[in-house]
Structure 1
Amino acid sequence: MDMNILSLGLQVLNAPLRALGHAVMGADHVADADLPLEHPVVWQRIERALRSAGFVPDAVIYTDNGNLPFLLDPYAIPCPAVYYSIDTYCNPWHVPYAHTFDMVCVAQKDFVPLFREDGQDARWLPLFCMLHGEDRPFAERRVPVSFVGTLGHRNNPDRKPFLERFDALLPLDFHSGDFRPVFADSKIVLNQTAFSEINFRCFEAMALGAALLMEKCGNGMDELFRPGENILPTYTRNNAAEAARIASIYLKRPQALAEIAANGRQLAISRHDVTSRARSLLEMIDGLRKAKKHCQRLGAAQSHRVHARVAFGMLAAELDGEKWRPYRDFFLHIATR
């Protein structure tokens, strides 16, 4: 059954949802969103804007975009509502906030139990690749090993020293910026995470035809990938010598390296692309609609309001510094009013 879907936050799911036959209205803080949101609002405000556009949602998908929460009262949404938590590890307020939805999808598997307390329906839904390029002949790739990502983020102070140690042992093309042309021209993509998470870069590197060199971690890695088959053998976190040794071994075995890269690309584009994730979310929404879970949520609005206040109180406590004072004061007011 085709639906009207309101997509809050990260907008990457909109195109595949539309391609699957659904009408999608995107709401985000970016200016080119269907419904630009400049500040957090209550559901009534969004509903009024949607009504003026002739759009009545059958479902809501809120995909975490690493920003402050747009919606102050998700418990008031009058249709099935799903929250997709991506950066849980640096946003603990996601846990109580997600309790105001009918279901939460959690990108990092190890965090799922946190969301399941108090009977919340929480499911693991890994991240995905948003695009893939032409399968460039592997032998023609000019970059032996690359890394593209944020180098000096406060959540990950170990990254730059690790990359510099690796580069001293084996030349590494590492910088920030557009990863796509670099990955598409790389034989190996090195990944280093903030919190041992399975991040977007894993799937993007594989989809663009490079062999993924990933650190040992949890969060479902053993269920998603097979080291030595569709990704390279994993290295101990922040052990640059071990990572460089693995890369050196496989650069001297071009056929084995090319096979791993090809297997990884096939896995990423067949099972872990954005359309696959959109299909999974649609299946979940169909189950919520049949069970009328949103009716149960609406009937327990008071308890969900408490969860929202806890989330906003946690968020206010995290917003340090003068720059964030207006936001801190705002969310503290919402939490305590």
Structure 2
Amino acid sequence: MRPKYLVINGTRALATSFFADLVDFRVVSWDSDADLVLSVQNFDIDKVLQVFGTFQPDLIFVFWPEFHALPEGLFACGVPVVAAISDWNLGTRAILNHLDLYDLVLMDREGARRFKNLGYPNVEYAPLYSYEPGMVHAPDDLLQRPIDIGFVGNLNGHVQRQRAIWIDRLAYLHKRHGWVVKVATGVYREEYWRFLQSCKMVFNLTIRSEMNLRCYEAPAAGSVLLLEEDNDETPWVMQPNIEYQTYTVENFEEVVANLLSNEEKLQEMAVRGHERIVPSESYKAHAARIIDLITDRVPRARGTRTFRAEIGLQEQRLWSVTQDKYAITSRSMTRDSIAQEVASEDESLFLNSLAASLIGYAATQPNFVVTIPGEYWQRVRMLLQSALAKWSTNIAVYFNQLQLAFSLGQYQVVIDTAPSAFDAITKANTRQAFAGAIALAGFDEFRSDIESVFSDLRVGHLDKLRSSFFSRILVLRGDCYQNLQQWAQARQDYQLALHMMPHWASIWYKYAAATLVSGPTPDALEIAKDAIAKNPLMISEQIQLYGIAAQVKRSDVKALIAHHIHNLYQISDYFAQGIQALQNIDQALGGSREAVN
């Protein structure tokens, strides 16, 4: 008899790819492609199980808990729980405090290594990516394919910082060599498959040295996979430079030129990669291995459900990208629900988490500064003050106080109180002091950097946390000065932030803007160049900088940005909206559009 799995998150399509013919399953998800769609009303595992009547699962399999809120009571329902976590680098703090409540956690090789080192023996490696059967295409037509190098994937410059630099380099190679280079994003299913099947080579750069989707999809589609040489996971499955092609920063151009000039080698590599991946590395093949691992390891003695774990579950909901996440978080737990004595630091973390969820919930309401009553904000402030009374170096509390004041337009309050936050950051001497929930934190450079610290035990990371929070608050204060039209002070704060975190491209763009506005200066063009070099795909920031340059009559900065976006447009229609935005600015200000024509 097949085992019965209740699959949480993901979709029926994903669950079918994994478990078809192996498991009898039902899918519960925030996505509409599910047997039961989660909502605030049914956010409880007992209610979920009641819906399915006689279907009583042997196991609950959770996809991507780093991103999606989990039903209440999940770890108390008596059914073993297994999690598949992909983007641990973006969601470490969302999962860290309750990770040992799972019977088994599956990650890529680097994630398994890191979290085992952090003291979680229930974390194991398992392949979590593969290819969809519909994209399988033999490489017989490889040499007739119209695209020499293709890339398809996430172009979020905040998350994929290194990828952004490489996309810009691909645009340069297209211009220099005349190679047909195309970049696609936001395409799915058949359109996605057709794109890969049109490429001779597919460029890939992983973020965790993992064997990601493209590592499977490119060979399955009959293309040659181009992958960074120091990728850790893929050589366990495929032979480098035989079944896929490696590259480095130094040799990329030479490697591509050699392959394009040696059609026999290109064809042979595509064939060997295709034969290696199809069908032995399908989702179904992965699932069979995962089921064997589950049979061997589940159930196990779980960790104790401590107050810290409860805080972790609450913050997991706060960090999630789930619909109604803040409403769920703010109602899901009260201090009275935990009948135990707790440390003052944990009490502080809890109070701060509740305040952060209330700030986030308010921000989802239209025109919240006006529509949310003052009593609501007073409650948030009292929670934050109580959190500080319990633990004076809970750095997230200071951050949330400043973020709240900024969101309400209280810019002078931020300017006046930021020194207290700086003082607390200096005094904080543990990583836990920086672990609290942060309101309204998207996946930007700040978030990425602090997440990386909590997944690593290396010495010196406390300094990185201090620098990250120092810089982020300096930027927040700089934004306040900017809103008050005090551009010289804004420029000074951005410059100080850059001294600590010079790789944060977003600060470079703010620094360039403040430099342009604060007065005539010859270095504005060089700062703009540095900003683009740090992250070439921050198009909205480039458009904003272009508008400022137009207002202050800096045609050199305008031409730089226009030329850059135009080059990107040559390899992807995605950037057409950027060119249109620049033209709209010129039209509104009555300027010339020659730079983008």
Give the alignment's TM-score, normalised by structure 1.
0.83
2:5, 2:26 within 8 Å by CA — same for their partners in 1? yes
| Counterparts of 2:49 and 2:73, CA distance in 1 | 12
SS in 2 for 1:173: strand
SS in 1 for 2:228: coil
| Counterparts of 2:316 and 2:18, CA distance in 1 | 33
In 2 relative to 1, CA 97–271 (structure 1 residues): closer, same or farther, beyond 3 Å?
farther
In 2 relative to 1, CA 269–309 (structure 1 residues): closer, same or farther, beyond 3 Å?
farther
Please tell me the residue identity of whatever aligns with 1:130. Y
Q: Which residue number in structure 2 is paired with residue 70 of structure 1?
A: 70
Matched, 1:91 2:91: yes
1:191, 1:201 within 8 Å by CA — same for their partners in 2? yes
SS in 1 for 2:50: helix
Q: Cα offset for 1:328?
A: 6.6
Q: Which residue number in structure 2 is paired with residue 145 of structure 1?
A: 149
SS in 1 for 2:149: strand
SS in 2 for 1:209: coil
Decide which of 198, 211, 218 is 2:224's aligned counterpart.
211
Q: Encode CA deviations 1:97-121: one digit per residue, 9 max, x unaligned.
A: 43211001112x1121343344532
Q: Which residue number in structure 2 is paired with residue 34 of structure 1?
A: 35
| Counterparts of 2:326 and 2:16, CA distance in 1 | 36
| Counterparts of 1:319 and 1:103, CA distance in 2 | 21
Q: Cα offset for 1:20?
A: 2.3
More helix by share: 2
Q: Encode CA deviations 1:182-207: one digit per residue, 9 max, x unaligned.
A: 11111100012344443212211121
Decide which of 133, 136, 155 is 1:133's aligned counterpart.
136
1:59, 1:285 within 8 Å by CA — same for their partners in 2? no
Q: Which residue number in structure 1 is paired with residue 199 of structure 2?
A: 186
In 2 relative to 1, CA 324–310 (structure 1 residues): closer, same or farther, beyond 3 Å?
closer
SS in 2 for 1:75: helix
What does 1:240-319 correspond to in 2, within 5 Å?
Answer: 242-288=251-297, 292-293=299-300, 296-297=301-302, 302-303=305-306, 306-313=308-315, 316=318
1:133, 1:207 within 8 Å by CA — same for their partners in 2? yes
Q: Cα offset for 1:255?
A: 1.3
SS in 2 for 1:188: strand
SS in 2 for 1:145: strand
Q: Which has the larger radius of gyration?
A: 2
| Counterparts of 1:205 and 1:186, CA distance in 2 | 9
| Counterparts of 2:263 and 2:90, CA distance in 1 | 38
What does 1:45-84 correspond to in 2, within 5 Å?
Answer: 45-51=47-53, 54-64=54-64, 67-84=67-84
2:46, 2:73 within 8 Å by CA — same for their partners in 1? no
| Counterparts of 2:350 and 2:65, CA distance in 1 | 26
In 2 relative to 1, CA 30–94 (structure 1 residues): closer, same or farther, beyond 3 Å?
same
Q: Cα offset for 1:234?
A: 2.6
Q: Which residue number in structure 2 is paired with residue 122 of structure 1?
A: 123
In 2 relative to 1, CA 173–66 (structure 1 residues): closer, same or farther, beyond 3 Å?
farther
SS in 2 for 1:86: coil
Please tell me the residue identity of whatever aligns with 2:46. Q
Q: Cα offset for 1:88?
A: 0.6
| Counterparts of 2:326 and 2:202, CA distance in 1 | 39
| Counterparts of 2:331 and 2:213, CA distance in 1 | 31
Give the alignment's TM-score, normalised by structure 2.
0.49
Q: Cα offset for 1:214?
A: 0.9
Please tell me the residue identity of whatever aligns with 1:336. F
1:209, 1:261 within 8 Å by CA — same for their partners in 2? yes
Please tell me the residue identity of whatever aligns with 2:25. V
Q: Which residue number in structure 2 is paired with residue 167 of structure 1?
A: 171
Q: Encode CA deviations 1:225-282: one digit per residue, 9 max, x unaligned.
A: 32211110232xxx3x632321111011111111111221222223321011111121
Which structure is richer in relative contact order (CA contacts within 8 A, separation 6 or more)?
1
1:203, 1:268 within 8 Å by CA — same for their partners in 2? yes
SS in 2 for 1:31: coil
SS in 2 for 1:134: coil
More strand by share: 1
In 2 relative to 1, CA 208–65 (structure 1 residues): closer, same or farther, beyond 3 Å?
farther
| Counterparts of 1:203 and 1:258, CA distance in 2 | 17
| Counterparts of 1:286 and 1:252, CA distance in 2 | 50
1:7, 1:24 within 8 Å by CA — same for their partners in 2? yes
1:41, 1:72 within 8 Å by CA — same for their partners in 2? yes
In 2 relative to 1, CA 333–251 (structure 1 residues): closer, same or farther, beyond 3 Å?
farther
Q: Encode CA deviations 1:150-173: one digit per residue, 9 max, x unaligned.
A: 223421234334212222224311
Q: Cα offset for 1:327?
A: 6.6
Q: Cα offset for 1:26?
A: 0.8
Q: Which residue number in structure 1 is paired with residue 477 of structure 2?
A: none
SS in 2 for 1:336: helix
Please tell me the residue identity of whatever aligns with 1:89. N
| Counterparts of 1:329 and 1:219, CA distance in 2 | 40
Unaligned runs of 5+ in 1: none
In 2 relative to 1, CA 244–166 (structure 1 residues): closer, same or farther, beyond 3 Å?
farther
Unaligned runs of 5+ in 2: 336-348, 352-597
SS in 2 for 1:192: coil
In 2 relative to 1, CA 122–158 (structure 1 residues): closer, same or farther, beyond 3 Å?
closer
